Amino acid sequence: MNEINFKIIYESLIEGNVIKHSDRDEYGIANANIEILLNNIVDKYNFLLHGTDQIIKNGSPLRLSPGRERYGKINKCEGFATHLASIALLKALFSNRHANLKYSYKTSIPLKLTIQGWNPNVERDFGYIHLIYPKSSFVREYDTWQWVTTDRNTFFGGCIEVIKSDFKYPIEKK
């Protein structure tokens, strides 16, 4: 992907736009690897990602959920994001509401998704990956993919629509 298209995509997302799958040709990314594109945005522009099944209005605050114990401390409320497009893709395209999604992140082992209790409601045909900011509001949980915030001043930016074929990892259904 050339730098000009990359910059246009970044600017469109930072302005809060939604890049639909049908818009990819217009942006010059019809055949691009979306995971690599999003990882480049994270690395180059210092953002985090959030995968979901819906378009969330630009500037909306990240919803914080009741916290759980983390390393001997309990946060009252917390929200989550990731620096890895592979995890954001997983979150955008698979629901954990009706099944148990098992996956791990290790740089030495490729991502593999195991769906325990698979049913048709788990997989989505499409989803959305939003930019999340500011990254400085988050703390990375050790060497994991997960970044946690307790800051209510954390917001959604624009998003890109992703489809099943954007997820390039093995899936085991149980």
- Lowest mean pLDDT: which of 71-80, 131-140, 150-159? 71-80
pTM of the model: 0.88
Q: Confidence class of residue 70 from pLDDT cuts 50, 70 and 90? A: low
pLDDT band with cut points at 50, 70 and 90 for residue 130: very high
- pLDDT, tens digit, for every residue of 20-31? 999 998 888 888
Encoded tokens for 82? 């990731």
The pLDDT value recorded for residue 56 is 95
- Read off the pLDDT of residues 131-147 as tens digits, 9 standing for 90 and up: 999 998 898 887 788 89
Residue 96: what pLDDT?
Answer: 84
Mean pLDDT along residues 73-93:
88
Structure-token pair, residue 9: 């995509």
Torsion sign, CA atoms 73, 141, 43, 91: negative
- CA distance to 59, 132, 135, per residue, from 140 (Å): 22, 14, 10
Long-range contacts of 21-28 (CB under 8 A, 24+ apart): 21/126, 21/161, 21/162, 21/163, 28/1, 28/2
3-state class (DSSP) for residue 147: strand
What pLDDT sits at residue 31? 87
Give residue-wise pLDDT tens across range 100-120: 888 877 666 778 888 888 888
